[in-house]
Amino acid sequence: MKNTRRQPLEIKEIHQKGRPILVGTISVEVSELISKQLKKEGIIHAVLNAKYHQQEAEIITRAGQRGGVTIATNMAGRGTDIKLGQGVADLGGLHVIGTERHESRRIDRQLRGRCARQGDPGSSHFFISLEDDLMRLFGSDRIVKVMERVGLEEGQELEHPLLNRSIETAQKRVEQHNFQIRKRTLEYDDVMNKQREVIYGFRNEVLESNNVQDQLMDIMEEVTVQKVHQFSSSNEDIREWNLRALLDWVNLNFPLGMPEEELIEAGDTGKDEPVAGSLYDGMSPAQFAVAAFVSDNVRKAYELKISVENEDALKSMERFTILGAIDKLWQEHLYSMDGLRNSIGLRAYGQRDPLIEYKSEAFKIFDELMVNIKTEICHNIFRSASSLMAFQQFLSKLPQRTHHQETTAFEKQEIKDKKGSEVVSEVNEAIAKATPVRTGPKVGRNDPCPCGSGKKYKQCCGKL
Residue 418 has pLDDT above 60, yes or no: no
Q: Give the integer Cα–Cα distance in Å for 227 and 223.
A: 6
Cα(231)–Cα(254) distance, integer angstroms: 17
Whole-number Å distance between alpha carbons of 94 and 141: 35
Separation between Cα atoms, residue 102 and residue 74, nearest integer Å: 8
What is the predicted pLDDT for the residue at 289? 84
Instruction: Choose the final residue of a domain: 396, 413, 441.
Output: 396
Q: How confident is the model at residue 360 (pLDDT cuts 50, 70, 90)?
A: very high
Identify the CATH number of the domain in which residue 95 sits: 3.40.50.300
pLDDT above 90: residue 228 = no
Average pLDDT over residues 87-109: 87
- Confidence grade of residue 50 (pLDDT, cut at 50, 70, 90): low
Evaluate whether 388 touches 370 at the Cβ level (below 8 Å).
no
Separation of alpha carbons 399 and 396, rounded Å: 8
The length of the chain, given as a count of residues? 464
Q: Is residue 196 part of a domain?
A: no
Q: Both 115 and 79 in a single domain?
A: yes
Secondary structure of residue 456 in the 3-state scheme: strand
The contacts of residue 256 (CB under 8 Å, 6+ apart) are 250, 294, 297, 298, 301, 401
pTM over 0.85: no
- Assess whether 16 and 110 both reside in one domain: yes
Phi, psi dihedrals of residue 21, rounded to the nearest 5°? -130, 135
- 27 and 106 share a domain? yes
Is the model's pLDDT at 86 over the cut of 50?
A: yes
Within this chain, do residues 18 and 101 fall inside the same structural domain, yes or no?
yes
Identify the domain containing residue 182 by its residue range: 130-188
Identify the burial level of 251 via C-beta atoms within 10 angstroms of its C-beta, where 0-12 means exposed, 13-18 middle and 19 or more buried: middle
Number of domains in the chain: 3
**Are both 228 and 146 inside the same structural domain?**
no
Secondary structure class of 448 (helix, strand, coil): strand
- Is residue 274 domain-shared with residue 332, that is, in the same domain? yes
Q: What number is the average pLDDT over the span 278-305?
A: 84
Q: Are residues 153 and 76 in the same domain?
A: no
Instruction: For residues 102 and 178, state if they share a domain.
Output: no
Residues 245, 382, single domain; the answer is yes
Whether residue 37 sits in one domain with residue 121: yes
pLDDT digit string (tens) for 299-344? 988 888 888 888 888 888 889 999 999 999 999 999 999 999 999 9
Q: Which one, of 241, 240, 232, 357, lies nearest residue 282 by Cα?
A: 232
CB-CB contact of 55 with 24 (8 Å) = no
pLDDT, residue 412, reads: 39
d(CA 219, CA 374): 6
Phi, psi of 434 (to 5 degrees): -85, 0
pLDDT for position 285:
81
Q: Measured between alpha carbons, how far is 240 from 238 in angstroms, rounded to an integer? A: 5
Q: Answer yes or no: is 422 within a domain.
A: no
